[in-house]
Structure 1
Amino acid sequence: MEAKLTTSLAILTALLIMHHPSITAAATIAHHTTTPANASLAAGFSLQLVVPDHDDLDHTVRRGSDGFLHLQSLRTDLPPRPPSGANSSSAASATTLRPEMTYTPLRLPKALVIGVGTGAGHQDYLFQVVDTSSHLIWMQCMGCDPHSPQRHRLFDSTTSPTYHLVAGTDPFCRPPYWSEFNGEACAFRFDGPRDMSVEGYLGTDQLTYNNAVHQNVPFGCAHKAHHFQNDGVFAGVIGAAAVARGLTRFSYCLFHGGETNRQGFLRFGTDVPRNPRYRTTEILPAAALDAAHDSSGHYVSLVGVSLGARRLDGIRPEMFARREDGQGGCVVDLGTPVTVMARAAYDVVEEAVWSDLERHGAERVGRRGYGLCVRASEAMKGRLQSLSLHFSGDEEAVLVVAPEQLFLMMDDEQGRIACLAVTPGRRTVIGALQQVDTRFVFDLKDSKLSFAPESCIRDTVPSKPFK
């Protein structure tokens, strides 16, 4: 599919003013766009998503010729390593490459390349599209403590002559931001998945995307970044929501990669594909707590879970309800690799999966960081069932996660094992690996989330990964 890429700054403006429609683009950012690009914004536009290059890692998740996801070593000279003790969402245990398997990388297109700063401070950075509701671009800056190692040097605002702090008295500095140092600075905080917490101050600088220069763009310069799971490459994050200039719909479709590098798109407005098979559920209103600081994800109403064709009676809607203190709930999130499920619901799902496999002679094995793993013979792989997530709204608003995306294959000394790629947590997060080959459409005006199965590789173009 041919991409209608725009060089307009409107995407950056849209991401920054989602919750501030009264702040106009003209008052916040200087525009440097062509008339044809501006004209296309009235209907829709698309942004090309970059696939990060992870070839410097000694392990990765790949899709095998059997269709399943495999945790597999990229370096065949390395022996198998014991579990590292990392948390289950990172799934960071390497395995050896079995000769009878062929693999293709599971490279999820979920990043944008943005140049930040001018002069000696200029650098191209990889920004992860991690959530679907935040209106703030933020990045780790020099002096950030703690911070996560990233591909390129931390942005040093003192070396960019065009960088300026946003004053606490600036009209842009309004909730969820606040004034500090007697109005000399505007502070922000962002809370994300997996206990991520980021704090810092707003600044403006020149940003570059697709060879177009955008001046005086506000973004968050982080000086504290706790639990930022950036895969060692991402400098910061950027929201995917857009409401500026009447564009209230956006869409993405994650594909599982292949031998040839491909890149997908964030599509906005009329660029969002039509599909008669879309199923729809409501995007829930933001909680009062969200007004205090940025938070990640759009909340939806998950009401039930099925294993195969059987609805799990032990699952109740209140297990996925969001509480007044902001805990709980269910969100769809690009930045979380595997699905996290509220502990009470997870226990029901794990027991149901194991009970079914045990009846068919499965051998359960332990694997650090995973709740349920079994020996993965060919016969046992044929017994693995899909997991269906039931949402309020359409009677058929059901997201079906196939066994090939629900279980992660890996090796140990005795052979191959299959581990349930769902982990327990304080709230439910539908992760990126379980979103593959499903198109998601967010309609912010009508507060609707639509989704439908799709071969997402068809909505891609060939491209080289960002180094």
Structure 2
Amino acid sequence: MSNVYACMWCFFLVVLNPVSLALDATNSSGAAGFSLPLVPYYRTTAGVLEELLPEGDAEGGVNITSIRPKMIPYSGGIYSVRVGIGSGGTQHFYKLALDLVRPLTWMQCKPCVPEKRQDGSVFNTAASPHYHHIASTDPRCMAPYTRAGQGRCTFDVKFQYGDSRARGVLGSDDFVFDGSGPGSPISSVNGLVFGCAHNTHDFYNHDLWAGVMSLNRHPTSFIRQLSARGLAAPRFSYCLASRQHRDRRGFLRFGADIPDQSHARSTPLLHGDLAQGGGMYYVGVVGVSLGGRRLTAITPVMFELNRRSLRGGCIIDVGTSLTLMATAPYHVLVAELIAHMRSRGVQHAIFSPGQKHCFRGKWESIHRHLPSVTLHFQFHPESVALFIRPELLFVAMTGERTDYVCLAIVPYAERTIIGAGQMLDTRFTFDLQQNRLFFAPEQCHLDTSAVS
């Protein structure tokens, strides 16, 4: 799920330099590697709390509208890349938010109803000499796309929340990646397939993003199209630095540009069948630990994918800024968290509506008791697990007379989604050829460049 579509929180824009590209770098198999700078939007703590703590009173008469500056600099954000699309006079650079869920890179195209404000003009296919519609008879016009009238191939992308969606037609045009300084190469890829959206509903782009870049496993995703042409091995990687390093830019790396991962742990990427998994990156979670203690009430069945309804399972998505957890394991986790904190003398507070779980008291007595969460993966010994430190799990604030710390994991009926906010300082590498996810702790700010 990408919070591009449903996130209503406030963000800070970090303005980054243009894209740095090195398509001439090759690995031993001859496949190229290149990197795109990541452009993050960081939520303010007030923005996070607006979602976690809807306006109203907490249990015990505490008014959340009296919140003051943050105490933990929560770092969850939404990440985009900057690419040029089009040919001739209509070629412009656009910011596309990353999406690991849906199968298609798409953007607003004229005419688009409603036409959302974005960074740059809306793409005009009529003014791009190399733009071509994908015909309904084209072999790429297959599910989930639809053959329509006038020989067009159409798409209808549904977002994760409510009735949000984008509709339009499939086309192809040139994608351009510009260098980061004098003498840097300018490289382009001709005829990449993408979606031209002529209608959107509840597309929350914060007046910035023109659309999304798909890194899904479907053949029409950006990574699959590049690898099919031999421009990059079918692998991509990112390492998200915390907001304290917002004067630095990280990278989305492809193919040979990915650092050595021989030291990393790995787990299989499941449900590669597009009919079953939709091209999303499923991992097999079998258990959860809180503060180093395995929660036996959370069982593997709570994270299983229902192959009929396609609900359930656990996916990885850098386009989702917070981790969402299926309701059954979430309620167990919250109950154990409350017991853990109460046993240490920390009071629990529920904010309504939404039943958001927080803890109140003096900051000095709260923060030292905050536990970690560990996600355990299947088919592996206990050592193969994703450790999430407390700083990435809680949002803190001060009130008039007391302090509050709130859990930054929320329940979600559809499935479990490991989001960007809980991925910081860990490198994730998605290997589509081996169907494995590699991950390892890393000081991600060391794989960045300065924002000029």
Shorter-normalised TM range: 0.7 to 0.9
The within-5 A match list for 1:26-65 is 36=24, 42-52=30-40, 60-61=43-44
3-state DSSP of counterpart to 2:335: helix
Please report how far the alpha carbon of residue 356 of structure 1 lies from its aligned counterpart in structure 2 after TM superposition: 1.0
Aligned pair 1:420/2:389, yes or no?
no
423, 435, 438: which one pairs with 1:450?
Answer: 438
Q: What is the Cα deviation at residue 150 of structure 1?
A: 3.3
Normalised TM-score (structure 1): 0.76
Superposed CA deviations along residues 241-282 of structure 1, whole A, max 9, x for unmatched, are 444327132211111133562122222334322245422111
Partners of 2:74 and 2:116 in 1: CA distance:
24
Provide the secondary structure at the position in 2 that maps to 1:372: strand
- 2:421 equivalent among 433, 454, 458: 433
Aligned equivalents of 2:199, 2:341: Cα separation in 1 = 45
Task: Note the alpha carbon deviations across 1:275-311, whole angstroms, 9 max, x for none.
Answer: 45422111112356458xxx46301111100101211
Say which SS state the counterpart of residue 244 (structure 2) adopts.
Answer: coil
Quote how far apart the aligned CAs of 1:230 are.
3.3
Structure 1 residue 197, shift from structure 2 partner: 3.4
In structure 1, what is the Cα distance between the partners aligned to 2:388 and 2:331? 18
Find out whether 1:286 has 2:272 as its counterpart: yes
Task: Answer yes or no: is the 8 Å Cα contact 2:88–2:128 preserved in 1.
Answer: yes
Q: State whether residues 338 and 422 of structure 1, in contact with CA within 8 Å, keep that contact through their aligned partners in structure 2.
A: yes
Percentage of identical aligned residues: 34
Cα distance in 1 for partners of 2:132, 2:138 equals 12
Contact 1:71 1:94 in 2 (8 A): no
Other-structure match for 1:318: 301
Deviations 1:294-335 (A, max 9, x none): x46301111100101211111111111111211111000011
Tell whether the 8 Å contact from 1:280 to 1:397 is kept in structure 2 after alignment.
Answer: yes
Deviations 1:220-254 (A, max 9, x none): 01234344443442111112344432713221111
CA contact (8 A) 2:240 2:444 kept: yes
Alignment of 1:15-26 (within 5 A): none
The whole-number CA distance in structure 2 between the counterparts of 1:386 and 1:421 is: 12
1:357 corresponds in structure 2 to 341
State the alpha-carbon separation in 2 of the partners of residues 462 and 155 from structure 1. 30
Deviation at 1:110, TM superposition (A): 2.9
1:310 to 1:453, Cα distance in 2 relative to 1, 3 A: same
- 1:249 paired with 2:235, answer yes
Match status 1:174 vs 2:138: no
For structure 1, the 5+ residue unaligned runs are 9-35, 55-59, 62-69, 74-81, 86-91
The answer to whether the 8 Å contact 2:322/2:422 transfers is yes
- Deviation of 1:450 after TM superposition, in Å, equals 1.5
- Name the residue aligned to 1:372: 357
Question: What residue identity is the alignment partner of 2:205?
Answer: N
Against the structure 1 CA distance between its residues 315 and 168, is the aligned structure 2 distance closer, same or farther, given a 3 Å change threshold?
A: same
Separation (CA, whole Å) in 1 of partners of 2:286 and 2:127 = 51
> In structure 1, how many angstroms separate the alpha carbons of the residues matched to 2:315 and 2:214?
14
Give the superposition deviation at 1:215.
3.6
Match of 2:157 in 1: 190
Counterpart Cα distance in 1 of 2:65 and 2:96: 25
Tell me if structure 2 keeps the 8 A contact 1:5–1:45.
Answer: no
Match for residue 24 of structure 1? none
1:364–1:372 contact (8 Å) kept in structure 2: yes
1:331 corresponding residue in structure 2: 315
Secondary structure at the counterpart of residue 369 of structure 2? coil
Query: What is the CA–CA distance in structure 2 between the aligned matches of 1:198 and 1:72, rounded to whole Å?
Result: 25
Mark the runs of 5 or more structure 2 residues left unpaired by the alignment: 1-18, 57-63, 179-185, 216-222
Contact 2:374 2:387 in 1 (8 A): yes
Tell me whether 337-346 or 376-385 shows the greater mean CA deviation: 376-385
What CA distance in whole angstroms lies between the structure 2 residues aligned with 1:288 and 1:162? Answer: 30
Shift of 1:7: 5.3
Alpha-carbon contact 2:25-2:256 (below 8 Å) kept? no
C-alpha distance in structure 2 between counterparts of 1:160 and 1:96, whole Å: 50
Matched, 1:200 2:172: no
Per the TM alignment, residue 214 of structure 1 is displaced from its structure 2 partner at its CA by 3.8
Between 320-329 and 201-210, the greater mean CA deviation after superposition: 201-210
Going from structure 1 to structure 2, the CA distance change for 1:227 and 1:399 (only over 3 Å counts) comes to farther
Tell me how far 1:381 sits from its aligned partner.
0.9
> Quick one: structure 1 residues 221 and 370, their matched pair in 2 at CA, closer, same or farther if it must change by over 3 Å?
farther
Aligned to 1:142, what secondary structure does the other structure show? strand
- State the one-letter code of the partner of 2:94: Y
Letter in structure 1 aligned against 2:248: R
Contact 1:7 1:209 (8 Å CA) reproduced:
no
Whether the 8 Å contact between 1:110 and 1:130 is mirrored in structure 2 is no
- 1:317 corresponds to which letter in structure 2? P
Does the Cα contact within 8 Å between 2:22 and 2:33 map onto a contact in 1?
no
Name which of 285, 288, 303 aligns with 1:302: 285
CA separation of 1:360/1:232 partners in 2, compared to 1, >3 Å: closer, same or farther? farther
Q: Structure 2-normalised TM-score? A: 0.78
